[in-house]
């Protein structure tokens, strides 16, 4: 949802800004722009990706040691040159970049028009920069003008402001959208996440809502709130490394991230599973054990792929803990009037830790006294900081817009949580606990076995390049896998795909099946195998093309399949960790055959910081 970068210091700003934008391009890529401040405040912007901006600024005078840049995911106003950020104020003495949505922009705009302001774009951001100028025109400082403007603003923002008349000052603020300040020697960096900062400094400050960072050349970082109260934020040390942000020889980040899964799954359970004394150590659980032991029920909330991980979590928690679990789309939950108790636990799952709806769901549950547990991948993210306790997934940066390794890491962490609580609750025997723990430690090697079939999967995927629809079916633990497989295919290849509980097929979708319709069935030998075989027969009877995910050694489904992928045997509750892998690969190869932009699919953004 838009990426923002800023720099002030002794170095040349342009190369830092453009490199930063490339790291943040996963957040939005419909237009890009840059502003540099030297003797003048200059803005260059255009429709298209960061590479289009690079071409556009070729030969332009860009020499400056401070500036800011933006890559956009359009909310207000179509993606075009004019709506691209930065936005100038009327006098062109101020410029602003913005990530978020100003909800009351219409009323503010009306007032500004009455005061003689004219507008170039259709964006909410331009309203904000004009409002800052309106206040600044009364003779107050830039900081005061920004404070007054933000006090009138309803909505979410991460902004950076440059002023021609304040040549050594950069002001940044956030509410609801992320903003990180990097602190170097005599220099500051700003970015939506730490990835553009990491190669220059490891010292960062995560701004809190309604905080303003005042970055004055030659001075220390100063932070004030929009109500002018000075705050003293903690400086954190980043643990990222640069190689995690590069493709490492793979054609796409998505493929790299699929292939990282043996390691990322291992990293998710590393240090948490102690086979020698049959325990699982998760600090967030141990410190709040009474909450988990006395919870009336657990609500899991998330969006997209993370929501699918929650569905797997629901099956695992209910089986192991015998406690009711509800899984909620955060976007629905936040606007319903859900019945919430102060002995409820809300588990919020998010790769980015920035999904606006999930954050709002947390605030809602918190206001009813529920205990909030977060499962996030991005360290220091808004959701990680808004929860009472939590566990990181440790999957490393996920840059491909389609979530892959985050999903398997989330399922791993949910499994560990359920096992840890079940042991304390006494709802699992020590023998069973050991069996599942051992099975979990064997998963990375089994994922590698599946990844070794990538060529095979690529080979048969080409037959589905021109398909228009696809149906994904699974039962029990594999119903969420069907949903996830369908989501992967549709978001990167633009093929319409639906995931369904296998048995539900005959209540409607069966009408769609003919020889043109590929049906992907997750049919491992555990759970409801015989029932799934019957569902497969129903597909075959209608001439559907069957792609199956089967357990090694299966004969029945193999013989019915047009194509199949064998996965190794494991515990039923762990099958999603294996069955998802071939579906990720299949979606990837089909999208590549269709020449789609796999890492940056159209209309999407990696982290959805608007509702």
Kindly state the number of chain residues that form the binding site for ligand M6R, as judged by CB under 6 A: 17
Closest residue to ligand M6R in the complex (CB): 304
Least Å from the CB of residue 402 to ligand M6R: 4
Residue 352 interacting with ligand M6R (CB under 6 A)? yes
Say whether residue 402 binds ligand M6R (CB under 6 A).
yes
Does 355 interact with ligand M6R (rule: CB under 6 A)?
yes
Residue 192 touching ligand M6R (CB under 6 A): no
Give burial (CB, 10 Å; 0-12/13-18/19+) of 536: buried
Q: To the nearest whole angstrom, how small is the minimum distance from the Cβ of residue 110 to ligand M6R?
A: 33
**Number of residues that this document lists for the chain:** 611
Question: Closest separation between CB of residue 205 and ligand M6R, Å?
Answer: 22
Q: Which of residues 108-127 bind ligand M6R (CB under 6 A)?
A: none
Q: 285-344: which residues touch ligand M6R (CB under 6 A)?
A: 303-306
Q: What DSSP designation does 203 have?
A: E
CB-based contact 397:244 (threshold 8 Å) = yes
Query: Closest by alpha carbon to 99, among 5, 20, 11, 189?
Result: 5
Which residues from 42-61 bind ligand M6R, rule CB under 6 A?
none
Tell me whether residue 366 or residue 542 sits nearer to ligand M6R (CB atom): 366
Q: Which range binds ligand M6R by CB under 6 A, 67-75, 105-113, 318-326, 399-407?
A: 399-407
The piece of 1-9, 160-168, 207-215, 352-360 that touches ligand M6R (CB under 6 A) is 352-360
Contacts of 347 (CB under 8 A, 6+ apart): 298, 299, 300, 301, 310, 313, 373, 374, 375, 414, 417
Q: Applying CB under 6 A, which of residues 356, 401, 577, 590 lies at the interface with ligand M6R?
A: 401
Q: Considering the complex, what minimum distance in angstroms separates the CB of residue 317 from ligand M6R?
A: 19
Task: Give me the DSSP letters along 65-79.
Answer: SEEEEEEE--SSS-S
Q: What b/e readout covers 392-428, taking b as 16+ CB neighbours within 10 angstroms?
A: bbbbbbbbbbbbbbbbbbbbbbbbbbbbbbbbbeeeb
DSSP state of 506: G
Taking the complex as a whole, the smallest distance from the CB of residue 495 to ligand M6R amounts, in Å, to: 15
Catalytic residue, chosen from 2, 310, 376, 596, is 2
* Angle at the Cα of 275 from the Cα atoms of 272 and 276, rounded to 5 degrees: 120
**Smallest distance from ligand M6R to CB 601, Å:** 8
Binding residue (CB under 6 A) for ligand M6R from 358, 412, 478, 580: 358
Using alpha carbons only, give the angle 1, 351, 436 rounded to the nearest 5 degrees: 165
The one catalytic residue among 45, 47, 164, 606: 606
- The least distance separating ligand M6R from the CB of residue 609, rounded to whole angstroms, comes to 10
Cα separation, 598 vs 589, in Å, equals 9
- Catalytic residue list contains 606: yes
Stretch that binds ligand M6R, among 141-149, 349-357, 424-432, 532-540 (CB under 6 A): 349-357
Give the nearer residue to ligand M6R in terms of CB position, either 395 or 443. 395
Instruction: Select 179 or 608, whichever has its Cβ closest to ligand M6R.
Output: 608
Given the complex with ligand M6R, which of 4 and 362 has the nearer CB atom? 362
User: Between 131 and 497, whose beta carbon lies closer to ligand M6R?
Assistant: 497
Nearer to ligand M6R, 89 or 355 (CB): 355
Contact predicate 64/14, CB 8 Å: yes
Alpha carbon 289 to chain centroid distance?
A: 28
Interior CA angle at 580 toward 391 and 551, to 5°?
125
Q: Binding to ligand M6R by residue 350, rule CB under 6 A?
A: yes
Q: Is the CB of 2 or the CB of 127 nearer to ligand M6R?
A: 2
Least distance CB 191 / ligand M6R (angstroms): 17
Calculate ∠ Cα 271-275-278, nearest 5°.
110
Contact segment (CB under 6 A) with ligand M6R among 161-169, 312-320, 398-406, 473-481 equals 398-406
Q: Which of 71, 177, 478, 607 binds ligand M6R (CB under 6 A)?
A: 607
In terms of CB distance, is 485 or 527 closer to ligand M6R? 485
> Which residues are 373's β-sheet partners?
347, 389
Task: Give which of 271, 277, 278, 276 is closest to 433, Cα–Cα.
Answer: 278
CB crowding 91-105: b at 16 or more within 10 Å, else e: eebbbbbbbbbbeeb
- The answer to whether 310 is a known catalytic residue is no
- Using alpha carbons, select from 419, 407, 439 the residue that is nearest to residue 568: 439
Residue closer to ligand M6R by CB (options 544, 601) is: 601
Supply angle C-alpha 466, 470, 472, rounded to 5: 145
Provide the minimum distance between the beta carbon of 421 and ligand M6R in the complex, in angstroms, as a whole number: 23
Sheet with 563-567, side-by-side order of all strands: 496-501, 469-474, 518-523, 545-551, 563-567
Beta strand residue intervals within 421-478, DSSP E: 469-474
Our CB check for ligand M6R shows the closer of 130 and 404 to be 404
403 near ligand M6R (CB under 6 A):
yes
What is the x/- site pattern for ligand M6R, positions 462-491, by CB under 6 A?
A: -------------------------x---x
Cα–Cα separations (whole angstroms), residue 497 to 89, 483, 518: 45, 9, 10
Residue 351 Cβ, how far from ligand M6R at the closest point, in Å? 3
Binding site for ligand M6R (CB under 6 A): 303-306, 350-352, 355, 358, 401-403, 487, 491, 604, 607-608
Q: What residues act catalytically?
A: 2, 606
């Amino acid at each position: 949802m838009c990426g923002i970068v800023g720099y002030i210091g002794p170095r040349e700003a342009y190369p830092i800004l453009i490199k930063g934008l490339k790291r943040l391009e996963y957040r939005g890529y419909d237009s890009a722009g840059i502003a540099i401040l030297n003797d003048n405040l200059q803005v260059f912007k255009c429709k298209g990706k960061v590479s289009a901006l690079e071409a556009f600024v070729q030969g332009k005078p860009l020499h400056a040691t401070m500036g800011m840049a933006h890559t956009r995911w359009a909310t207000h106003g179509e993606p075009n040159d004019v709506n691209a950020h930065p936005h100038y104020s009327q006098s062109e003495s101020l410029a602003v970049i913005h990530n978020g949505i100003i909800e009351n922009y219409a009323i503010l705009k009306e007032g500004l028009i009455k005061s003689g302001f004219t507008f170039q774009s259709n964006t909410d951001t331009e309203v904000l920069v004009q409002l800052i100028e309106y206040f600044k025109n009364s003779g107050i400082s830039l900081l005061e003008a920004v404070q007054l403007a933000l006090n009138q603003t309803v909505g979410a923002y991460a902004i950076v402001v440059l002023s021609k008349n304040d040549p050594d000052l950069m002001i940044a603020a956030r509410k609801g959208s992320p903003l990180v300040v990097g602190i170097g020697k005599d220099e500051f960096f700003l970015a939506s996440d730490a990835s553009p900062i990491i190669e220059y400094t490891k010292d960062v400050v995560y701004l809190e809502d309604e905080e303003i960072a005042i970055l004055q050349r030659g001075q220390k970082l100063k932070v004030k709130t929009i109500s002018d109260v000075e705050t003293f934020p903690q400086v954190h040390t980043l643990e990222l490394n640069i190689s995690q942000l590069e493709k490492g020889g793979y054609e796409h980040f998505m493929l790299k991230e699929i292939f990282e899964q043996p390691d990322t799954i291992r990293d998710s359970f590393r240090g948490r599973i102690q086979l020698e004394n049959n325990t699982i150590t998760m600090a967030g659980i141990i410190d709040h054990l009474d909450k988990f032991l006395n919870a009336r029920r657990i609500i899991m909330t998330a969006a997209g792929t993370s929501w699918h991980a929650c569905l797997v979590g629901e099956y695992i928690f209910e089986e192991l803990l015998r406690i009711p679990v509800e899984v909620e789309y955060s976007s629905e939950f936040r606007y319903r009037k859900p019945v919430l108790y102060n002995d409820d636990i809300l588990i919020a799952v998010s790769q980015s830790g920035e999904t606006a709806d999930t954050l709002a769901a947390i605030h809602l549950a918190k206001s009813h006294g529920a205990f909030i547990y977060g499962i996030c991948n991005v360290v220091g993210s808004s959701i990680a900081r808004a929860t009472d306790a939590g566990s990181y997934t440790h999957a490393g940066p996920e840059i491909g817009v389609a979530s892959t390794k985050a999903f398997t890491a989330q399922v791993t962490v949910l499994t560990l949580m359920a096992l840890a609580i079940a042991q304390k609750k006494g709802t699992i025997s020590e023998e069973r606990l050991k069996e599942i723990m051992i099975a979990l430690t064997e998963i990375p090697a089994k994922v590698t076995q599946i990844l070794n079939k990538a060529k095979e999967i690529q080979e048969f995927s080409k037959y589905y390049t021109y398909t228009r629809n696809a149906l994904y079916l699974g039962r029990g633990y594999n119903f969420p896998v069907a949903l996830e497989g369908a989501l992967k295919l549709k978001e990167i290849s633009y093929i319409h795909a639906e995931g369904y509980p296998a048995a539900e097929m005959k209540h409607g979708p069966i009408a769609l099946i003919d020889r043109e319709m590929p049906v992907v069935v997750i049919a491992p030998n555990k759970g409801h195998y015989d029932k799934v075989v019957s569902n497969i027969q129903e597909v075959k009877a209608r001439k559907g093309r069957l792609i199956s995910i089967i357990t090694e050694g299966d004969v029945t489904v193999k013989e019915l399949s047009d194509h199949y992928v064998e996965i190794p045997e494991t515990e039923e509750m762990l099958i999603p960790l294996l069955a998802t892998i071939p579906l990720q690969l299949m979606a990837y190869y089909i999208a590549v055959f269709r020449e789609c932009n796999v890492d940056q699919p159209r209309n999407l953004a990696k982290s959805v910081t608007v509702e």
